[in-house]
Amino acid sequence: MSNRRLRINEVSVEFSGLRALDKVSLTIETGEILGLIGPNGSGKTTLVNAITGQVRPSTGAVCIGDEEITALSPRRIALKGITRSFQQVRLFNDLSVVENVAATSLAKGLSLRAARQTARELLVDFNLSDFGDMAAGALNHGDKRRVEIVRALAGDPSFLLLDEPAAGMNETESDALLATLAELPASRALGILVIDHDMSLIMRLCHRLHVISSGKTIGEGSVETVRSLPAVVEAYLGTSETSP
């Protein structure tokens, strides 16, 4: 499993003529956290959608190891081991928190008892065990986000894609999330892709960064390398540094 990687090769996505992604290539290795950053509307979420099958790339390929998964349905891709969270939380609001999490492992074929057991264990790791029997819709925003991440993890994925996991969280919550996420790649042998606008979180959490702007890659590499790239500073970090 360790040599499996998620490879996105020259993926383009078009929405009725508008090119939202333009030949973006990136690789996520098992055991690493890759940060995907870029200004609003640069195509970050579209890239995640293209990987998980919500939108179909017009060209390019998405592969796990040697296996191409580009044309598969979202369900198949999820079962292949790529799970995700959403910018707008999408939980099963009227199911309990445990059931939300268990749904993923059930879909993978676990028994109800085993799925519930796994769900409860995962919830403990994320300090959510007190909420297990509550309806997911009744949680506060930060907890919903964490439940969504736990639900994605319950499928025992090889790759976890997190779309703004810390959005709407306060400092304490996002620090706690950062600590939990940082341990995941090693403890669960998985690769993580994180989108977030919180640069401090991204810089502390990620091993590598990939920057896109207007659908194109404008930089990639280690956190330090990316920070100093003139194109990146201009397109993204520059503006954020001058803002209050």
List residues near other proteins by CB under 8 A. 52, 54, 73-75, 78-79, 83-84, 90-95, 99, 102-104, 106-108, 111-112, 115, 135, 137, 151, 155
Closest to other proteins by CB, 192 vs 202, is: 192
Q: Give the shortest CB-55-to-other proteins separation in angstroms.
A: 13
Strand partners, 164: none
* Distances 209 to 1, 30, 159, 214 between C-alpha atoms, Å: 23, 15, 16, 17
Q: Give the shortest CB-116-to-other proteins separation in angstroms.
A: 10
Closest to other proteins by CB, 115 vs 226, is: 115
3-state secondary structure at position 217: strand
- DSSP letters for 141-193: HHHHHHHHHHHHHHT--SEEEEESTTTT--HHHHHHHHHHHHHHHHHHT-EEE
Q: Give the shortest CB-149-to-other proteins separation in angstroms.
A: 13
Q: Give the shortest CB-41-to-other proteins separation in angstroms.
A: 23
Closest to other proteins by CB, 111 vs 240, is: 111
Closest to other proteins by CB, 98 vs 226, is: 98
- Please give the Cα distance from 206 to 35 (Å, whole number): 6
